[in-house]
Amino acid sequence: MGRALDAYIAAAGIDAPAALPAQEDDWLPVASPARVNLAAENITSVLWATGYQLDLSFVDIPVLDAWNYPRHIRGVTEQPGLYVVGLPWLTGHYSSIVGGVGVDAEYVAGCVAGRRG
């Protein structure tokens, strides 16, 4: 985008200030520990947002299938306390899109709260 904008400014003869130097990415997370003892750290819940590219390499429990997707029923895995949302076809075609994940999230939130599942 920057080069296209610079080319437009030059072609149009616009007197524009020089571009600011590129900033370093400061949004990247700090290095994570290799392992965390949940009980020792008194951690009872974890919400892990993996973004648009699924990466479950950190999951060191036997809940992944041959394609490295969690085995689940409506987002509830066989591992007590481990739930998933946002996966393609979790319960329907809408499950992995922002506008549709809420249906699955509401169900899973009920399970987490102990109301079902």
Please state, in angstroms and rounded to a whole number, the distance separating the CA atoms of residues 9 and 30.
38
Please tell me the least confidently modeled range out of 11-15, 28-32, 65-69, 110-114: 28-32
How many residues are present in the chain?
117
- In this structure, what token pair is assigned to residue 37? 């003892």
CB atoms within 10 A of CB 87: 17
pTM over 0.75: no
Q: How confident is the model at residue 47 (pLDDT cuts 50, 70, 90)?
A: confident
